[in-house]
Structure 1
Amino acid sequence: MPLPVLAMMLCTFCVGTAESVIAGILPNIAGHVGVSLSAVGMLISVYAMVVVIAGPCLTALTVRLPRAVLLPGMMGVFILGNVIAALAPGFGWLVAGRIVSALAHSTLIAVFVASARDMAPPHRRAASGAKVTLGIGLATVVGVPAGTLIGDNWGWRATFWALAVLSLLSTLLLMRHNVPEPTPAEDLGAHPKAMDSRRGFTIPVPMILVASAIVLGTGGVFALYTYASPYLTHVAGFESSTVTVLLWLYGLGGIAGNLLGARAADRHLTAAALTTLGTAAAALLLLVLLVDNAWAVAVLFCVLGAAYFATIPALNSQIVASAGPTSAAMALTVNNSAFCVGIALGSWLGGAILARGHSVLLVPAGGAVLAAAGLLVSGVTSWLLRTRPAMSEPRIPAEV
């Protein structure tokens, strides 16, 4: 792995861990700052809202900055947010720290992936981008459990300090091995629409459809993932001590899926997007039908993780391919926002099903419906891209 890509992967690992580790230290924070668990849950929802709303705006505002300035600067903002959280004298300052960290999230990951793609030949771009998003999978398998362990033993502030220190070290590595800048602007001369995209951001219809498929597919998976513990213990009959093992299987499947999905996307993008979404929908449905078979549930949890993380490089490539004159970094920022909306949608759907008194078994069923809808939308998008060949591969280089 090239050192610049390794540095970006490590930074992505820190960002992914910071996003999700709150779930593991919620009780510690609630007990220390004197607020309810539901109130502390705002640290997750507020973070996601900032990523969705502020991410595209910040990417647009920073589009002219050189990557050598933008990436360390944004990592500095992210580190500052974690330091604010670690030093927070009260809950309000903790929320402020989360907001500051979230401001950098979407732009960082989008530019990291765009940069990695720019460093690779056309037939290896998805695989190169997946080396960066591998950091998200590693955050699920290693970062969140490690952050939770640190919080349990040394307090929740230690978790934020550890994130700040690791992020600083990763940033120093990134600064030592700067990523290359995008293709010079004069290459855009043959594409007048690209110049317009600097002044105003427009979203092509296929790009909207890809974002919709991301929302629906992610929502389907996270409907179950959010309520994985009650599903596994109350319905599938596993002991509570086994839940952690099954979630690790989900994460390990995700790491494998991320790498395999990238290779598939480089070879046949349409087939990769449809296959990964279809596999996720099928796994969710089978988790309803085979709930009485413990071995089947364990295998399907691993398959679900692999399928979901395999959608990331496939849909990353599809949203860039559908972006037309829009820069890859902006397209990938919209992509990140869509994933966050999907996570929120899935959590809401699972909660709504349970709030109406239905069995937890209906949660993966509802998730399967959402994922199947995402598959349908992705199929329509693929058809549009085939019938509009001029958009099938963006000719405008990522400009960040």
Structure 2
Amino acid sequence: MPLPVLAMMVCTFCIGTAESVIAGILPDIARDVGVSLTAVGLLITVYAVAVVLVGPFVTAATARLRRATLLPAMMGVFVLGNALAALAPGFGWLLAGRVVSAVVHSTLIAAFVAAARDMAPPDRRAAWGAKVTLGIGLSSVAGVPAGTLIGNAFGWRATFWALAALSLAAAALLARCAVPEAAPGATAGAAGARRPGGAGAGRLRFVLPGRMLLVAVVITLGTAGVFALYTYASPYLTESAGFGTRGVTVLLLLYGLGGIAGNTVGGRAADRFPSAAVPVTLGTAAAGLLLLALPPGSRWAVAGLFCLLGAAYFATIPALNTAIVSAAGPSSSTMALTVNNSAFCVGIALGSWLGGLLLARGQALPAVAAAGAALTAAALLLALVGTRRPKAVPAPGTPAADVATDALTDTAVTGGESSR
């Protein structure tokens, strides 16, 4: 693995760990700062909201910065946020530290994936992008458990100090690496394009191609389907499938390991079969959820399906990364991947909310899996409908992974304007 890609993977490992590790140290924080568990839960909610709402604006504002400056600087902000959380004298400062870390989350991941794709050979772009996002998968398998163990042994502040230290080391390594700059003109489009002449000259308009927005909807629905069940995996596995507490721990680990394998295989599939990668991965995830909604024939079958679900979900990530970059056309790939990351976050929140709503209304846990299967199937149908539209003819020499995997529509959606 090239050193710059390894450095970026370590950075995404830190980012993924920071996003989710709160769940493991939540009770300790509540006791130490003197607030309720519900209040501490805001550290997760506010982080996610900041990622979704602020991320695209940060990407747009920094679109013209060189990556050699942008990536280490953004990692510096991320380190600062974790250090602020570690030093926080009260809950307000802790919340502020989380927000500081969150505002660079989407831009960093998007820029890392875009840089890795630019470094890769033409037929390996999705696979190299998947190497970077592998850090997020590894964070759920190793980062969050390690952060929880550190917090339990040395206090929750030690978890944030460890994150800050590892992030600083990764940023230092990244600063020493030669990361390619974006191609000339690649910061236009979705990142903002100047109006030519007239009263609006010198102003920016944000343009999001309709095809890209449709891929974002596919991402949101597919992710929501998986997380409707995954959020409540522990009660599903104990109450519906009959596993004990230790069995749940093992199965969650298998889900993560399946995710690592799926991320790798999905990256290669997105390079070799770009038009089939999205339907196949979404279809597999939908089938897995549907089978988990049926009465379990055996615990071994449930274990296999749960591992398959992890592999299928993580395989969708490089496939959808490729789809949204292709759908963005001449727009900034970094902005497209920022929208992509926001869509995943919205999907996680939507799926968790839907699963909780069904359970609150007295539905059984298998019904949550069925609802998840319906959402993921809707994402699959939407992707298939998009591919039925006429496709643009690629320019000679265009890599297969960069040809639009779904010719959805070329309509542009124009948002608000801002000055530069």
1:204 aligns with 2:209: yes
- Written as runs of structure 1 = structure 2, the 5 A alignment for 1:12-31 is 12-31=12-31
1:306 aligns with 2:311: yes
Structure-2 change in CA distance of 1:335 and 1:362 (3 Å):
same
- 1:6 alignment partner in structure 2: 6
- 1:25-61, Cα deviation, whole Å (9 max, x unpaired): 1121122222222221111111110010000000000
Aligned-partner Cα distance in 2 for 1:336–1:273:
16
The DSSP-based 3-state class of the residue aligned with 1:322 is helix
Q: Which letter maps to 1:353?
A: L
Aligned-partner Cα distance in 2 for 1:337–1:127:
21
- 1:51 alignment partner in structure 2: 51
1:388 aligns with 2:392: yes
Deviates most, 176-185 or 338-347? 176-185
- 1:174 alignment partner in structure 2: 174
Structure 1 unaligned runs (5+)? Answer: 395-400
Deviates most, 374-383 or 234-243? 374-383
More strand by share: 2
Aligned-partner Cα distance in 1 for 2:59–2:192:
16
The DSSP-based 3-state class of the residue aligned with 2:65 is coil
Contact 2:60 2:192 in 1 (8 A): no
- 2:146 alignment partner in structure 1: 146
More helix by share: 1
Aligned-partner Cα distance in 2 for 1:196–1:281:
42
- 2:345 alignment partner in structure 1: 340
Deviation at 1:200, TM superposition (A): 2.2
Q: Which letter maps to 2:284?
A: T
Deviation at 1:70, TM superposition (A): 0.4
Deviation at 1:297, TM superposition (A): 0.8
Contact 1:21 1:144 in 2 (8 A): yes
Deviation at 1:76, TM superposition (A): 0.6
Aligned-partner Cα distance in 1 for 2:209–2:392:
12
Aligned-partner Cα distance in 1 for 2:229–2:332:
34
Give the ranges of 4+ consecutive aligned residues of structure 1 lying more than 6 Å apart after TM superposition.
Answer: none
Aligned-partner Cα distance in 2 for 1:188–1:4:
21
Q: Which letter maps to 1:24?
A: G
Deviation at 1:22, TM superposition (A): 1.0
- Give the TM-score, by structure 2 length: 0.89
Aligned-partner Cα distance in 1 for 2:386–2:212:
8
The DSSP-based 3-state class of the residue aligned with 1:152 is helix
- 1:161-206, Cα deviation, whole Å (9 max, x unpaired): 1000000000010001131112234x999x9x99559932211111
- 1:398 alignment partner in structure 2: none
Contact 1:9 1:133 in 2 (8 A): yes
1:159 aligns with 2:170: no
The DSSP-based 3-state class of the residue aligned with 1:202 is strand
Q: Which letter maps to 2:245?
A: S
Q: Which letter maps to 2:289?
A: L
Deviation at 1:290, TM superposition (A): 4.4
- 2:262 alignment partner in structure 1: 257
- 1:123 alignment partner in structure 2: 123
- Written as runs of structure 1 = structure 2, the 5 A alignment for 1:229-240 is 229-240=234-245
Aligned-partner Cα distance in 2 for 1:71–1:188:
15
The DSSP-based 3-state class of the residue aligned with 1:237 is coil
Deviation at 1:382, TM superposition (A): 2.6
Q: Which letter maps to 2:47?
A: Y
- 2:399 alignment partner in structure 1: none
Aligned-partner Cα distance in 1 for 2:320–2:285:
14
1:219 aligns with 2:224: yes
Deviation at 1:321, TM superposition (A): 0.5
State the superposition RMSD in angstroms. 2.0
Q: Which letter maps to 1:11?
A: C
- 1:50-103, Cα deviation, whole Å (9 max, x unpaired): 010000000000000000110011001101110111111111111111100001
Contact 2:192 2:206 in 1 (8 A): no
Contact 1:283 1:304 in 2 (8 A): yes
- 2:104 alignment partner in structure 1: 104
Contact 1:8 1:112 in 2 (8 A): yes
Structure-2 change in CA distance of 1:149 and 1:188 (3 Å):
closer
Structure-2 change in CA distance of 1:188 and 1:242 (3 Å):
closer
Q: Which letter maps to 1:158?
A: A
Q: Which letter maps to 1:287?
A: L
The DSSP-based 3-state class of the residue aligned with 2:317 is helix
Aligned length: 390
Structure-2 change in CA distance of 1:41 and 1:194 (3 Å):
closer
Aligned-partner Cα distance in 2 for 1:223–1:22:
20
Q: Which letter maps to 2:290?
A: L
- 2:354 alignment partner in structure 1: 349
Aligned-partner Cα distance in 2 for 1:305–1:229:
15
Aligned-partner Cα distance in 2 for 1:205–1:387:
14
- Written as runs of structure 1 = structure 2, the 5 A alignment for 1:287-326 is 287-326=292-331
Deviation at 1:121, TM superposition (A): 2.2
- 1:371-390, Cα deviation, whole Å (9 max, x unpaired): 11111111123334x53346
Identity over aligned residues, as a percent?
Answer: 67
Structure 2 unaligned runs (5+)? Answer: 196-202, 396-401, 405-420
Deviation at 1:325, TM superposition (A): 2.0
Aligned-partner Cα distance in 1 for 2:321–2:165:
29
Deviates most, 355-364 or 156-165? 355-364
Aligned-partner Cα distance in 2 for 1:196–1:287:
50
